[in-house]
Structure 1
Amino acid sequence: MKFYSPLTADFFPNEPDYEDEFYDEYEGYPMDGHDLLQYADAVDEAVKKDIADFNGDLMQYYHEDDSVRHKVVSAVPSVEIHGNKLCSCLNVELREPLNEGEQAVLCDYISGQYSDGWGEGFEQRDIRVEDGTLAVHFWQDHDFELKRDVPDMTEFNKLLNRPKKPKMQLIGQDGNIFAIMGRASRLLKNAGQSDKAKEMCDRVTASQSYSEALNIVSEYVETELSPTPAPKRDRGDAR
């Protein structure tokens, strides 16, 4: 069995910009699993090196004499690209299948290991990358959940919970792309999407033309250039 859960990190660049509103002197830049794709090899190597020091099996610290102890041979943490993100992956070897109650007990125990046990120690081990240092978290104090190997559900739930795009009119703008970008950025931040605002500004700044920049803005806020959503299928439609 495999169980997936979110992976996040704090990134500290070699040359931090202390004037950047998104940078925190003590917590660096927050990163999610998508951001961590570029550092997948370094994180994977760090996890493998760390678990090698204790044979990798978190079940050696499980002291209950119950059916979970009898059925689970080992539970080894790793990282894996899953749903276009770098995720935590728990590899569980079994003697017998677990029922729902036993899975819940196992997940509760692993959550404790990620938050206060092995994971707490791992996040304090700096991972050096070319442009800075990472502190990687296997546990988060919100939205944390271990999910059994159901890769499509991660993306499905992500689509269901996707924030609504703020609306912005392009017609009548003065043609200054930086003014347009600034307005779109403020709308995103007011909608609680500061991470999207930064991502959009980075992409617009790196774009090669005015039209390309407008199309990028229209990916983040709803404008005249935004694509019309596909109509929903009726339940009777063929798949």
Structure 2
Amino acid sequence: MKFYSPLTADFFPNEPDYEDEFYDEYEGCPLDGHDLLQYADAVDEAVKKDIADFNGNLMQYYREDDSVRRKVVRAVPNVDEVNGELVGSLWVDTDAPLTAEEQAVFCAYISGQYSDGWGEGFEQREIDVGDGKLYVHFWQDHDFELKRDVPDMTEFKKLLNRPKKPKMQLIGQDGNIFAIMGRASRLLKSSGQGDKAKEMRDRVMSCDSYQKALSIVSEYVETELSPSPTPKRDRGDAR
């Protein structure tokens, strides 16, 4: 079997353009699978070199004594080009077909390996691509999914191109809820999320308390009240 998943990366150019709105001093420039295609050879080489350290088989870390362990012999991460984009691929050797339930268990395990196991270590590996450095992510913190066989890339794009929440400060600013709602609405519209701006306004106007209104606003723009995102991991060499 073969499973696919989207790839993203943080790119740190050797000569950064500090005027580039997409560049961040600490997070670099975000790249998706289409952007990564130009670096396919370097990423492929980095993956092969990294998995060589543990014989390439993620199943050696699987601890459950169940039918998945008995059926799945090897699970080896790699990268492939699919429909003009670079995506993560996983080669899976089995002794017998997996049931739907077993496949769900297996995919949950691989998702964990991508987020907190092998993938956590790999995304901290610096990949020199000539014009800068890459840090490649096999896992994303929004709606990550492994797909069996060749994926529909339009579905990946919907996940990866989902607009980020604009940041907006509450402390020290006008505390009037209409002023707050107006600022949030303008931020959403300027980031191409006019539909979200209207949805937010409608919800705020129908709620029955100031605190609830602030909470609703904080669902659409990132404020001091928004839930803390998953912290960025250090670029240290740790698995």
TM-score (norm 2): 0.66
Alignment of structure 1 residues 1-239 onto 2, 5 Å: 1-151=1-151, 153-155=152-154, 189-192=190-193
**1:158–1:136 CA distance, 2 compared to 1 (3 A):** closer
RMSD (Å) for aligned C-alpha atoms? 2.5
Report the alpha carbon displacement of residue 41 of structure 1 after superposing the two structures with TM. 0.3
- Within 1, Cα distance between the matches of 2:191 and 2:15? 29
- Within 2, Cα distance between the matches of 1:111 and 1:47? 17
The amino acid that maps onto 2:48 is K
Give the ranges of 4+ consecutive aligned residues of structure 1 lying more than 2 Å apart after TM superposition: 153-159
Q: Which runs of 5+ in 1 are unaligned?
A: 164-187, 194-239
Report the alpha carbon displacement of residue 190 of structure 1 after superposing the two structures with TM. 3.7
Secondary structure class of the residue paired with 1:53:
helix
Report the alpha carbon displacement of residue 130 of structure 1 after superposing the two structures with TM. 1.2
How many residues of Structure 1 are paired with residues of Structure 2 in the alignment?
Answer: 170
The amino acid that maps onto 1:92 is V
- Within 2, Cα distance between the matches of 1:39 and 1:67? 38
The amino acid that maps onto 1:31 is L
Percentage identity across aligned positions?
A: 72
- 1:123 and 1:137 in contact (8 A); partners too: yes
Secondary structure class of the residue paired with 2:33:
coil
- Within 2, Cα distance between the matches of 1:189 and 1:41? 37
Report the alpha carbon displacement of residue 65 of structure 1 after superposing the two structures with TM. 0.5
Alpha-carbon displacement from aligned partner over 1:175-199 (angstroms, at most 9, x marks no partner): xxxxxxxxxxxxx954149xxxxxx
The amino acid that maps onto 1:5 is S
Alpha-carbon displacement from aligned partner over 1:44-91 (angstroms, at most 9, x marks no partner): 000000001110000000011000000000000000001221000010
Report the alpha carbon displacement of residue 155 of structure 1 after superposing the two structures with TM. 3.6
The amino acid that maps onto 1:112 is G
- Within 1, Cα distance between the matches of 2:161 and 2:32? 15
Report the alpha carbon displacement of residue 121 of structure 1 after superposing the two structures with TM. 0.3
**1:190–1:122 CA distance, 2 compared to 1 (3 A):** closer
Report the alpha carbon displacement of residue 150 of structure 1 after superposing the two structures with TM. 3.3
The amino acid that maps onto 2:22 is F
- Within 2, Cα distance between the matches of 1:40 and 1:9? 12
- Within 1, Cα distance between the matches of 2:87 and 2:73? 23
- 2:9 and 2:134 in contact (8 A); partners too: yes
- 2:34 and 2:85 in contact (8 A); partners too: yes
The amino acid that maps onto 1:142 is H
Secondary structure class of the residue paired with 2:125:
coil
Report the alpha carbon displacement of residue 156 of structure 1 after superposing the two structures with TM. 6.5
Q: Which runs of 5+ in 2 are unaligned?
A: 163-188, 195-239
Report the alpha carbon displacement of residue 158 of structure 1 after superposing the two structures with TM. 5.0
TM-score (norm 1): 0.66
- 1:83 and 1:155 in contact (8 A); partners too: no
